Structure 1
Amino acid sequence: MYKKERNHILKIFYDMAKLIKEFIGIIVAVGVLVNKIGIVRSVLIGVVLAAAVILYEFLLWRKNFFAVGENFIYHQEGVFNVKKVEIPFERIDTIDISQRLAERIFKVATIKIDTGDTSNRGSELKFTLKKTRAEQLRDILLKRSAVDSKVQEERSYTVKPRELIIYSLVSNSVLKGLGMLLVAQQFFDQYLKNFIPVDTSLYVDELRKEDIYHAIYTVSLLVLALLFISVFLSIIYVLLKYYDFKVWSDGDKIYIKYGAVNKKNYSFDREKIKGIHVKQSILMQLFGFFTMEIESIGYGDEKEEKAILYPMCTHSLKDQIIEGMLCEFKYSGNTVKPYNSADFRFFYKKVIFWAAVALVCFFIKPRFVIFTLVLLLFLLIMGYFEFRNTAFGIDRNLIYMSYHGFNKTQSILKMTAVQSLTLSYSYFQHKKGFCDYSIILYSSNAGKVLKVKNLKDDIIGEAFK
């Protein structure tokens, strides 16, 4: 029998923290019972219930264990409903080692193990262990030798703080800063307004008294101040999240680590990476920067987690990373773009939407129609970028797709990662020989669909026949 191992004792306190609502329910129940059966009996019942919850959490911890064999990992959990699973090493896709602040204090880490089972969403195995043991377990599961640490330095790429600052400015992270401002504003309204009295109506009344030019000047300064604060917050957010970002390869495996407060360490079997997504915000398209993500089961399936391969790179560095670490995703086939005769199809729905908004504004207040021209310009620019960014191609082993407007994505996918490819068209598309191509991927996100629109309906060739 192989040696049983359990979660670190800190895991019990994590789980107990999640049960705060249950303890609050116990306290409320005790308060209700006081008037009916007396304070002594009520407190006794409350203590018994709390003890039962604590005992159950201890039993959950006790019954949750794993054992590592020669070529598999065995896991068992559950008190009343027992679940047992045995996973061969070759089925493991991704291993994630992360450290929250409390875990770093106690020198422990959480290791998350995912396999290629697309029917099982989220992580299949998750343990909280001593950091050194978590790293040992990762090396055992990946069959990684000590020699690999020397090889990794030869094929490593590190993001510098200056590059992270640029990334925070040209990506959509500025929206994160605006989101933080909104959260701070809500926090102020709920908790601090009574202690720090600020009557904003006085400033609004003062603004109304000023002439239109001074009002515009004041509002512009306010908007610029908010924008500056949001940019500052986004820079701090990106620096903390991707601090000391490093990606490297030892040939068969790829490793990624980053994070200042919440440290992340990911490990992938290179053969099980299903695709690459190269993404660009509108500013990144204008300045020639890219964000690289990968398609791998178990990576990017947690809340607000991206399957990041490299946060920001230039065109030459992007090609260098693909050539050096993932040369199997170097696409060399032809790509097909929409015909000029199809450009109308990227605009007409947007024009109809604008016309509907303008019509509503006309009946509410006719002079507001002039402001909808800004919306029309925005929609036309969006349609132009969608038309320009759309492309599709297939070679012997890979599929290339380019789509979206302001947030351009180029996906290079292994043919084996494609669950199905669908051609769809409307009556008018069919009349002109156009169609939309949709691909469903084998992914941890069930039914993940990638789609390109308004291309010729005869470009698939023999790839799927």
Structure 2
Amino acid sequence: MNVENKNHWIFIGYEAVSSLKEWLFLLIILFFKVKWYYIVLACVIILIYSIIKWYNIKFYISDEMLVYKQGVLSRKKQEIPLDKISTVDMEQNLINRIFDVCNLKVDSGAVGDGQTEVKITVKMDFAKKFREELLKSYKSSEEIKEDKSLKESYIKASMKDLAIYGITKNKLGWLVGLFAILSQINEFLSEDFLNSIDNKAESFVNGIGDIAKNSTSIAFIVISVILVILFLYIIVSVVSILIEIIKYYNFTLYESSNKLNIEYGLITKKKYSLPIEKIQALKLKQNFLGQFLGLYNMEGIVIGYGDEDDKKAIIFPVANEKLKNHIINTLLPEFNFEGHFNNPPKRAIFKFIVKRNIISLILISPAVYFIPTIPLKLILIGMCILSQILLGYRNYKNASIGLNRDVIVMSSGAVVKTTHLIKQKTVQSIGTKQNPLQRFRNVCNYKVDVCTNYFGEVVEVKHLECELIKEMEENLRV
């Protein structure tokens, strides 16, 4: 591997498209302000620049080092020791699969801004060999395939799991986006068609009005609105299920040579490895429905892992309580937790509720001002207060800190509950914060700084007993 290698020529196309995106605004201005051939000239310059950049990128392995050279005007040379490389991700999108090429993303354990240190695009056969050479201190792929016991330890996400994940994901943003699309779609429809829709809608509304006038209740209108919302929710859920199945298709998790290996994807195939000893913490996320169904999205917080596309190190997209415990017990035993949990005292419930209500009332005040009738204003204010009381109470129930000598478990959140399982040895600092009202109730906020790829990830849990800091500091000294 001492021979200098170059990216596949398709890299030129990727680089040109990336440059066009960066200069798109300028190109649009040129299109309206100058003659068309200036646009062509700009595109030619971008293409030439991409070719020069492709030509100047060279990489090879020499003396247990990955050497990567690049630069157009100024030259840059990186040397990464092979034993410092933490992950080598393989990614193959649809275009790559057509040309049988693959993107390799190489990360070391260096703490930085989270971007991939080296990214190369090469033929698939070469990518597999080059990846094995970069990770030669671990088992080769052939050895992994021959390990029968390893095959039995594969953990896969079924279609049913991915469908449940798609159903339980938050749909509020999707519904807003759907309404936004529907509001703009009239630009692409003929005037006659729109008039026809307006006439039918007017007839429908008039019919509902007649029913409401002749009825002792408005149950029919309420049921109609509920059915429309339900119909839209079903559409959005189906789309969400399809997206999650395409994204996480054939999701497979297994361990080999003290590394977690993850593979998934239907259109864009991804494959990456996470050194278990470099996983600083686990992040377990539960959306609102997931909290009641006992479903978790599992992520790893890993030094040296992250890129410009997706900064998450997904360990498993959706796992129930039993599967979550199985993954931790068998693959990540260092994160096993046996200890006591500290919850906010009852006197702190007030703190979880009041602030939420004040902020939400401020946010809806413009809407309340423009509502014409007082009953509707009172209904909106009442719904807002009730929802925030329920969410505040939910946050109170979810907040906790669990401690033992090896692991800190920190949970918080109302709509989305996030639980961090943090190795004691990776904690950089522990701090508390207390405002005057918290001093009155003898509670405070706890912040734990974990060493990560982004110069520290701060995890916070609010309104716990102040005496807890003593036990946390004692564990940190051990």
Q: What residue number does 1:85 align with?
A: 78
SS of 2:131's partner is: helix
Asked if 1:54 is matched to 2:54, the reply is no
| Contact in 2 for aligned 1:23/1:50 (Cα 8 Å) | no
Match of residue 372, structure 1, among 369, 381, 384: 381
Q: CA deviation at 1:344?
A: 1.6
| Cα distance in 2, alignment partners of residues 30 and 359 from structure 1 | 44
| Cα distance in 2, alignment partners of residues 153 and 291 from structure 1 | 23
| Contact in 1 for aligned 2:112/2:453 (Cα 8 Å) | yes
Asked if 1:178 is matched to 2:175, the reply is yes
SS of 1:464's partner is: helix
Asked if 1:463 is matched to 2:475, the reply is yes
Trace 1:17-416 onto structure 2 (pairs within 5 A).
17-20=17-20, 50-143=43-136, 144=138, 145=140, 146-151=142-147, 152-172=150-170, 174-175=171-172, 177-178=174-175, 181-182=178-179, 184-185=181-182, 188-189=185-186, 192-194=188-190, 197-199=193-195, 201-209=198-206, 210-211=208-209, 212=212, 213=218, 214-297=220-303, 299=305, 301-303=307-309, 306-353=312-359, 361=368, 365-368=373-376, 369-416=378-425
Q: What residue number does 2:5 align with?
A: 5
| Contact in 1 for aligned 2:116/2:306 (Cα 8 Å) | no
Q: Give ranges in structure 1 of 5+ residues lacking alignment.
A: 35-41
Change in CA separation of 1:362 and 1:58 when aligned onto 2, cut-off 3 Å: closer
| Cα distance in 1, alignment partners of residues 5 and 158 from structure 2 | 39
Alpha-carbon displacement from aligned partner over 1:194-232 (angstroms, at most 9, x marks no partner): 599434543553344232445444433322221111011
| Contact in 1 for aligned 2:444/2:466 (Cα 8 Å) | yes
Letter in 2 for 1:464: L
Q: CA deviation at 1:372?
A: 2.4
State TM-score, norm by structure 2: 0.86
Change in CA separation of 1:374 and 1:431 when aligned onto 2, cut-off 3 Å: closer
Asked if 1:445 is matched to 2:454, the reply is yes
Change in CA separation of 1:46 and 1:249 when aligned onto 2, cut-off 3 Å: closer
Percent of paired sites with the same residue:
28
Change in CA separation of 1:148 and 1:32 when aligned onto 2, cut-off 3 Å: same
Letter in 1 for 2:151: E
Change in CA separation of 1:316 and 1:46 when aligned onto 2, cut-off 3 Å: closer
Q: CA deviation at 1:391?
A: 0.9
Q: What residue number does 1:39 align with?
A: none
| Cα distance in 2, alignment partners of residues 409 and 170 from structure 1 | 16
Q: CA deviation at 1:2?
A: 2.0
| Cα distance in 1, alignment partners of residues 31 and 278 from structure 2 | 54
| Cα distance in 2, alignment partners of residues 374 and 30 from structure 1 | 51
| Contact in 2 for aligned 1:256/1:309 (Cα 8 Å) | yes
SS of 1:409's partner is: strand
| Cα distance in 1, alignment partners of residues 466 and 28 from structure 2 | 66
Letter in 1 for 2:123: K
Letter in 1 for 2:160: R
Letter in 1 for 2:390: I
| Contact in 1 for aligned 2:424/2:476 (Cα 8 Å) | no
Q: CA deviation at 1:166?
A: 1.3
Change in CA separation of 1:305 and 1:233 when aligned onto 2, cut-off 3 Å: farther
Letter in 2 for 1:366: I
SS of 1:3's partner is: coil
| Cα distance in 1, alignment partners of residues 251 and 323 from structure 2 | 15
Change in CA separation of 1:358 and 1:57 when aligned onto 2, cut-off 3 Å: closer
Letter in 1 for 2:395: E
SS of 2:273's partner is: strand
Letter in 1 for 2:374: P
Alpha-carbon displacement from aligned partner over 1:172-211 (angstroms, at most 9, x marks no partner): 3x45653663575377355x33599434543553344232
Q: Give ranges in structure 2 of 5+ residues lacking alignment.
A: 213-217
| Cα distance in 2, alignment partners of residues 196 and 302 from structure 1 | 47
SS of 2:453's partner is: coil
SS of 2:476's partner is: coil
State TM-score, norm by structure 1: 0.88
| Cα distance in 2, alignment partners of residues 341 and 293 from structure 1 | 33
| Cα distance in 1, alignment partners of residues 30 and 364 from structure 2 | 57
| Cα distance in 1, alignment partners of residues 435 and 102 from structure 2 | 53
Change in CA separation of 1:196 and 1:331 when aligned onto 2, cut-off 3 Å: farther
